[in-house]
Chains A and B, each alone.
Chain A
């Protein structure tokens, strides 16, 4: 199940685990990423907590936690090479995996069609 937030995060949810990243649109706006700060594995985060930080050549931006949950894995590859996020934001450039506190909460997020309509 693919879901999106108004803050330009995407979530791919399977078996109660959401893989989270930032959208193609977000990456286009940010430009070349040079630094990614990821959450600690094991951290418990609430919806809208600042979960990660990205720095592009232009500015810093926070990546928010889209739902309540526990971080079970982070993508070390993008920490070492942030350009992976620019190259493939909705694939290899994922940020972290979140074990959702309540999978049903995802129903309140946008589907892809709604998100694409939002960013026009």
Chain B
């Protein structure tokens, strides 16, 4: 059977095909892995000008408090994430993690305070379970409403601001992680100044009926090129950002994943709302004592990309001391880049380790993340 028959389409699938996208199945959706420009040029163009990504496969969910008070939705969501949601001001967004009872990570997500409700964006591959998880645990205080009639478009890169300002001047004043309702081409959109490329940029939630016109308007600007999943992956990898399912999953904890920054002090031991999320005992213990392993950047020597594999102490040892979870070629770094987990004692920058590549054991170096200097507009 042709796989494409069973794949879901986004409001932009037909346009992606028209633009020459090479379509593949991803998280159940028919998505462009690259456009005719190719992964390397798409990546470099995004860092130089602006890249446009269809991320409509991701889940967009509203948590509407039954009381009408957004604080109630925030406190409800705090049952599921080790994150300060109550302290998130209206018009602001932050990164969060759904954790499980063992302290593992069920998904990563973005949460925005929209004044009278919360707006949540979750990964495509996890969205069914995430929505079920929220319904099961938040329905006493919130209506959990999945928005299935909107596209989500990311515009990333140093020219993203000028490209979007041409359609909506007010987005210039937004700072990194601001979220606003913005009328674009007469349509009500939700705009956040965020993304997953390491660049400045925006994510725009637009009603599906107007999505194609919106994207065509952006693509009319010569600075804006359509970008596929291939470059999205190399961009986020250079930026040191985790891919759920590769770099974080139920077998990794927030501390091991080096995501301590996502757990604000108010949710840690001694904080006003310490604990109270799944796996709190494990996670808070790791904040005190550290985790046995840690996510780090990995810089392979030479030019061959290393996409996975166990890490070893030397040329001959057979007991792994870590594992690469994401890897590829970094077009901006102009070298292979990777990330993975190593024993905590080996997580110091500069530590030399080895990985097997086609029967040869090649040296790699533990390195700091990100591999590039992010362009976020703070």
Contact = CB atoms under 8 A, between A and B. Distances in A.
Given A34-B329, A35-B329, A57 B303 contact: no
Given A31-B34, A58-B230, A53 B329 contact: no
Given A57-B329, A58-B230, A32 B39 contact: yes
B39 A55 contact: no
Given A57-B230, A57-B329, A32 B38 contact: yes
A73 interface: no
A37 interface: yes
Interface string B330-359: 010000100000000000000000000010
A35 B304 contact: yes
Interface string A32-43: 101101000000
A103 B38 CA distance: 38
B51 interface: no
A53 to B, nearest CB: 7
- Main SS at interface, chain A: strand
Chain A residues touching B, range: 10 to 19
A55 B230 contact: no
A88 B328 CA distance: 24
B90 interface: no
Contacts of A37: 304, 358
Interface string B34-45: 100011110100
B267 to A, nearest CB: 39
Given A31-B34, A34-B329, A58 B39 contact: yes
Given A53-B358, A57-B234, A57-B331, A34 B303 contact: yes
A57 B358 contact: no
A32 B307 CA distance: 16
A55 B329 contact: yes
Residue of B41, B230, B329 with most partner-chain A CB within 10 A: B329
Interface in B195-245: 230, 234
Interface in B286-320: 303-305, 307
Contacts of B328: 57
Contacts of B303: 34-35
A49 B338 CA distance: 30
A34 B330 CA distance: 9
B40 A32 contact: yes
Given A53-B358, A57-B328, A35 B305 contact: yes
Interface of A: 31-32, 34-35, 37, 53, 55, 57-58, 60
23 contacts: A31-B40, A31-B230, A32-B38, A32-B39, A32-B40, A32-B41, A34-B329, A35-B304, A35-B329, A37-B304, A37-B358, A53-B304, A53-B358, A55-B304, A55-B329, A57-B40, A57-B43, A57-B230, A57-B305, A58-B230, A60-B305, A60-B307, A60-B358
